[in-house]
Amino acid sequence: MGEACFSADMQTGKMLFSESVHSGWYAVQTSYRCEQRVAAALMTKGLTTYLPLLQEVHQWKDRRKVVNVPAFSGYLFVHHEPSLRNRVRVLETSGIVRLLGGNHAPSEIPEVEIEAIRRTLGSGMACDRCDALTPGTQVTVMRGPLAGVEGRLARIKNGLRLVVTISIFSQAISAEVGLNDVQAVHEYATAGVSARTRCTSSP
């Protein structure tokens, strides 16, 4: 948030108001497969961008190739002061769908989250792109004796449990599940796109 600063005009005695704002990270949604083009266009406007990339193995009939793909499909981050002018500069960029936020204003992304992404992708460790599975997420069990069962995740004590309910009355049963054994249930399916990709390092 900006800090309001007040000063006095010594000649007129009137109070002057100015607002000191700081730059921050904001998330933008792009058109399909336009992340890198949008990032380049924003940089030509003098804006700092961050497009997290990971490595994905693409398989063809005769060969395999490791390519860099966006870690968050359809999204990237831009760093700027939260002024109306900057917001317009971003939104006027070809390929941008919207700035993410609420209450008719973009929401700033905490610096600690951006740094966590940078450190994770730059660590050299194997990374997976996956859904953010939090308690309350509707999931399907992918393997094990409960494979195919749908329910919601709940955190009970130190573990995650799959809660299976009967909608007509408010009772349920639960069973312990591993986070790697479940997958979020999407309202729509993305044809031909794997929900999990592999990376070994960040470019």
CATH number at residue 33: 3.30.70.940
Residue 182 in contact with residue 170, Cβ under 8 Å?
no
CA distance 7 to 104: 30
**Among candidate residues 104, 121, 138, the one where a domain is terminated:** 121
Q: Answer yes or no: do 38 and 94 share one domain.
A: yes
CATH number at residue 149: 2.30.30.30
Q: Band the pLDDT of 24: cuts 50, 70, 90.
A: very high
Range of the domain at 110: 20-121
Give the pTM.
Answer: 0.62
> Cβ–Cβ contacts within 10 Å for residue 130, how many?
13
Residue 10 placed within a domain: no
Q: 161-197: per-residue pLDDT in tens?
A: 888 876 656 667 778 888 878 888 863 234 333 333 3
Residue 66 in contact with residue 57, Cβ under 8 Å?
yes
Residue 152 placed within a domain: yes
Q: Exposed, middle or buried: residue 137 (CB in 10 Å: 0-12, 13-18, 19+)?
A: middle
Sole residue written with tokens 């449990």? 161
